[in-house]
Amino acid sequence: MTTSVGIHDLSFATTEFVLPHTELAAHTGVDIGKYHIGIGQRSMSIPALDEDIVTMAATAAAPIVERWGADRIRTVVLATETSIDQSKAAGIYVHSLLNLPPSTRVVELKQACYAGTAGLQFAMGLVHRDPTQQVLVIATDVSRYDLDSAGESTQGAAAVAMLVSADPALIRIEPQSGLHTSDVMDFWRPNYRSTALVAGQESISAYLQALEGVWKDYTEQGGRPLPEFAAFCYHQPFTKMATKAHRHLFNTTGHDLDEDQMTAMLRLTTAYNEVLGNSYTASMYLALASLLDHAGDLTDQPIAFASYGSGCVAEFFGGTVVPGYLEHLRTDGHQAVVERRRSIDHHTYRTLHGRSLPEDGGHHLTPKQTTGPFRFAGLSGHKRLYEHS
């Protein structure tokens, strides 16, 4: 009998601050409808001075470790495109903050927004090899674009932690996957830049072309027929991209699409992304969290996942919701994560955005701003310092 493997638990975290798009619109002079309706965004999470991908990752993962313990966690995979070091994996700091066992492998994965899915699939392979083990997969990112650029309104930050296990309590991941890779310069961030570069329309086109590619490969691998899926989770660089992708997938595969049903279905997956902003690797899994937290009973229903990372790599796969999953959801906790953020004005946001770390190797402590459980305490001798708040 084949052991089922998938997502046993899921938890997310975000930042201390939030910038409402009404505040951004007041500065840019853009009609608020362009943000609320055009791209489907209402606010974006902004990190405090003492927050980053590590503090968010540890905060997201801590409830999972508290609930299930760490004895079976043999691997931590951290996916990010907001890396803090060219050599040391950010997950090692998380491992330390969570006091995980030393008998653990820790690695960092990078491929734009797709890397979280790479982490999930690699974790699946490890658990299939040894079903007694569990893998902690964390997707954590802060999306930053130049001030007053076209991409500025899609910024955001979040981390999603997933415990991958045999006999999962939430989602059984199905074995078939559709894959696609092509060399596209639609979005990138050279090592010498702190903000990303993006060719907006080219990125949308590359996403849709990759979606066609993964669906074709998925069907060739013996995947489910499209109409069987009860819900769809898409990568959401902005929430309206899910609508564009869903319409494109159905139209190019010759399936009828009821617009009202599509809107109702996708609305369940966008609730978190529209107020947190683009979280890169975490985005599609925030869509999953939103679906599970806001839909009715999805027991035994198949869910489609369409993961995309610029540059580009994409994957399409399915998962089935496990009976009893409702008992394991963190809906109240997730809502509290969103609501605890403190609203800031545009001047404060620009000050935070313009912050850069000293490069002189001196001792530089970071002012305390976060009320979260972990904080980035500063730099000393070019070493990053983290602590419990």
Q: Which residue has the higher pLDDT, 51 or 198?
A: 51
> For the chain, what is the domain count?
1
**Can you tell me the distance from the alpha carbon of 221 to that of 225, in angstroms, rounded to the nearest whole number?**
12
Per DSSP, 300 falls in state T
pLDDT at res. 2: 65
Say which of 113, 248, 315, 334 is annotated catalytic.
113
CATH code (residue 57): 3.40.47.10
Structure tokens at 132: 């007694």
235 annotated active-site: yes
The string of pLDDT tens digits covering residues 175-205 is: 999 999 999 999 999 999 989 998 888 999 9
233 annotated active-site: no
pLDDT at res. 244: 96
Query: How deeply is 328 buried, as exposed, middle or buried, from its count of CB atoms within 10 A (0-12, 13-18, 19+)?
Result: middle
113 annotated active-site: yes
Say which of 95, 235, 246, 334 is annotated catalytic.
235
Say which of 16, 23, 51, 81 is annotated catalytic.
81
Give the residue-averaged pLDDT of 12-19. 98
3-state secondary structure of 332: helix
pLDDT above 60 (res 1): no
- The residue segments making up the domain with residue 40 are 5-388
- Which amino acid is residue 311, in one-letter code? G
pLDDT at res. 200: 82
Give the residue-averaged pLDDT of 348-356. 95
Confidence of residue 228 (pLDDT cuts 50, 70, 90): very high
Q: In degrees, to the nearest 5, what angle opens at C-alpha 189 toward C-alphas 185 and 192? A: 135
Spatial CB neighbours of 367, under 8 Å, sequence gap ≥ 6: 49, 50
> Shortest CA distance to 287 belongs to which of 239, 331, 246?
239
pLDDT at res. 124: 98
